[in-house]
Amino acid sequence: MAHGSNTGPVRGLKLVTLLFALSPELLLPGAGVKLQDNGYDGLLVAINPQVPENLSLIANIKEMLTEASFYLFNATKRRVFFRTIQILIPATWTAHNYSKVKQESYEKANVIVTEQNGAHGDDPYTLQHRGCGKEGKYIHFTPNFLLNDELIAGYGSRGRVFVHEWAHLRWGVFDEYSKDKPFYLNGRNEIQVTRCSSGITGVFVCEKGLCPHEDCIISKLFREGCTFLYNSTQNATASIMFMQSLPSVVEFCNASTHNHEAPNLQNQKCSLRSTWDVIADSSDFHQSFPMHGAELPPPPTFSLMQAGDKVICLVMDVSKKMAEADRLLRLQQAAELYLMQVVEVRTLVGIVTFDSKGEIRAQLQQVNSDDDRRQLASYLPASVSTEEDANTCAGVKRGFEVLEKRNGRADGSVMILVTSGADEHISNCLLSAVSSGVTIHSIALGSSAASKLEELSHLTGGLKFFIPDKSNPNRMTEAFYRISSGTGDIFQQSLQLESMYEIVPPQQQRTNPVTVDGAVGNDTVFQVTWQTSRPPEMTVLDPSGRKYNLSDFVVNLAFRTASLRVPGTAKHGRWTYTLNNTHPSPQALEVTVASRASSLAIYPATVEAFVERDSTHFPQPVIIYANVRKGLYPILNATVVATVEPEAGDPVMLQLLDNGAGADVIKNDGIYSRYFFSFPVSGRYSLTVRVRHSPSISTLAHSVPGSHAMYVPGYIANDNIQMNAPKQPGRRGMEGQWDFSRVSAGGSFSVQAVPAGPHPDMFPPCKITDLEAAKVEDDVILSWTAPGEDFDQGQATSYEIRMSKSLRRIRDDFDKAILVNTSELDPQQAGTRETFTFSPKLVTDELEPESDGEMQENHMVYVAMRTLDHSSLKSAVSNIALVSLSTPPSSAPALSRDDLVLKGVLIAVGLITIICLIIVAAHWTLNRKKRALKKENGTKLL
């Protein structure tokens, strides 16, 4: 027996590994799409529950992805295709013998289908929150895009559009067109349209038809009524990231076809590298080689699945360890609020406890009323057991029994596992957890909780949380609030508006405001918790002045909680709550305020906090993100503060930014981010994000930022203008002055190899990613956002700026490029916008020998920079900015072969007209002379 117990965990891990190797379809949903033998497995497409039922939507998704698979296979030179695809049907749709979900959910989907309201209408787009070469968050399609065939004329076929977006999502490449900078001055003093490759041709079109481009450009701006249309027939085969709709386009721009001068996001974010170079450098291509032969891969296999009833089982540790640091009390308070407020109506809930063995306290019961909620809460554990051991697998096994009792299987169910035990035998139930179809969310209490606990969550696609013993007692409640149903129906979810914790001295009170904004108000609850045997005095005042007293609260003295449920829809505006500590000693008082959406017409503001990776090694930083949105639309100018709590030590507060610099990739995309590197110890770290938004003019972006597939307004076909239907914008979101507050638990992450005691500076300044260059008269003006002394925090020491006429030189050998004098340039505080002006004339002579054989008439100069800190640590080289030193032409030269033809025709017509006028004038003059001569001769004869 001893031998068996020692080898059990190892055997379990080997079985899990073997299972993954043999059955790619069982790979963890939500852990990402897996590539094996040139085929992608596990792509998850999810339809939002708010989308009306339409079976044509499923058929068109299948058609789109089948076409995309073959198009992708050819575009990647026979390297990758889609093998297995899962489509998640909403539970709100009629059942049609769909498979039942396992760990799949809307929140884990790679592709989401949901309505879109805003300026971009039906634009497919990808939300990219990370840098070049890194995976994005999701691809979004509207139902109208997938159903309306009229849109194909502007976007191209849906399969081509999907490959465009897949390259954004999977490989982290960016768009090669630019709506902000539709044209630019190249190094040969020519005005060019922003495109890739530059071999794609087209002409300018004015209100009355074709026109020379000088009639369309005024002071580097498009004249109103002008546009640029591309020829429908092209010879260029690239690029998919520019205009996938062109029939000739079947590949990505590579090093030979890439237009590195174009002012687009691909060049800015990827340091002028071509999309194919970035794709070829991905891990996908390191393990996939071109398939031999000429045969095409088989079409994708689709699995249609539908979620059933929402089923949840709470599995809670009651071993002796739970008596430490008020762990059980905090669990009771959080679990009671979860059952009374967070769990959605019609959810089935069961309860299990465990110490050395598991015990079923409540079989599955459906939540349909407050009485159902109260009954479930009565089954929560009242005390800890006398046993030291916590057998997590015994609790998990009992949880599976509860979940399977309803219909024999636990597929699609959720387990919330809470433990503080140092159980080293969790590996024994890893295999059963993976095969169960259950998503396990884990909450680790205190630093002694088993290190393997997170494996259960990781392998089943669940969230994981860590609650330090010395943390804010509300952290447990915040973790429970983050665990939603996973359906994507935000209108059903309870949103946490406030989470306050304060140690209040005796006979003193605290008064704080909280806003119930216009998008929430239904099912609003105020919950107060305390430490002593009797509750504090408490009052709540609504915006109209109505007061709620202690008598209006439901008090649970055993759990030390008091809850006020506001009847009907809570009034919108500023509420105020007051707590008075009547106890003779100081005590911690906590307040949680939560509410649901007030109507289906207005999306509520939401915040999703997360980190880039689950674990890191010192000194590698962690990037913290907060996705702040109203529906799909980014909320701008919010104050977003992350609180990170280690196992030991004080919490660290860090303001997250949406400024497009440092850790933040795209400015004003609603994803706020920052580097975190203040690691006092090795171990687990807990993350919570608080968002506050004050009334402001600029609050909601009316376009969804992201990498959009281009909608083409029209083409030139057979010398005729063929315009597509104007793109229809969606409805705009709610405008006006409004404010809100939200709280979101961001889960946990671990840090390893943190040295004990003081350690030398190992954190360099972060890479500058938004360097821009512009020529003003004879000078070049650079602008960028200042990095910090340590990544994106503090104040650096100096900048190193270099320039070259050779892209290869400055990109591959920065130290050998020409150094610009920056002796008078001192870095500002991180996040500050910097500018620097210099004269390129001072180094023009030195630049000439660097041309590396490039055309000497090319007047384009490349500029890059890096930052140094006080320890002489250097940042990575910035993005490469380029600037033309040419004098802008007063009458711009031609842009393309077609434009040359057009201008040639116009010149030829002009010359012919002039010649004709000369001939007419000469003929008229000659006749006049003849008449005069005849008249003169006649006179003489007389």
Residues with a known catalytic role = 165
Give dist(CA 775, CA 803) in Å, integer. Answer: 14
In degrees and rounded to multiples of 5, residue 870 shows phi and psi of -65, -20
Q: Is 118 left (phi over 0), alpha (psi -120 to 50) or beta?
A: left
Any idea which residue has 């919490």 for tokens?
Answer: 651
Strands (E) across 699-739 are located at: 707-708, 714-717, 720-723
Phi, psi of 312, rounded to the nearest 5 degrees: -135, 140
- Whether 467 contacts 445, CB under 8 Å: yes
Report the distance separating Cα 599 and Cα 597, nearest Å. 6
Question: What residue has token string 């013993």?
Answer: 469
Beta strand spans in 138-187 (E) = 138-141, 183-185
Pairing of strands 191-193, 99-100: unpaired
Q: What is the DSSP string of 255-310?
A: TTT--TTS-SHHHHHTTT--HHHHHHTSHHHHH--PPPSSPPPPPPEEEEEE--S-
DSSP-derived pairing of the beta strands 43-47 and 84-89: parallel
For 247, the token pair is 């029939």
Give the whole-angstrom CA distance, residue 465 versus residue 483: 10
Exposed / middle / buried, residue 401 (Cβ in 10 Å: 0-12, 13-18, 19+): middle
* Residues 244 and 231: beta-carbon distance below 8 Å: no
Give how far Cα 170 sits from Cα of 45, 134, 174, 662, 826, Å. Answer: 15, 7, 11, 22, 39
> Two tokens at 95?
């059942």
> Would you give the DSSP letter of residue 726?
P
Give the distance from CA 757 to its chain's centroid: 36
229-262 per-residue burial string, b: 16 or more CB within 10 A, e: under 16: bbbbebebbbbbbbbbbbeebebbbbeebbbbbb
How many helices, marked H, and strands, marked E, lie in the chain? Answer: 18, 51
Cβ–Cβ < 8 Å for 537, 582:
yes
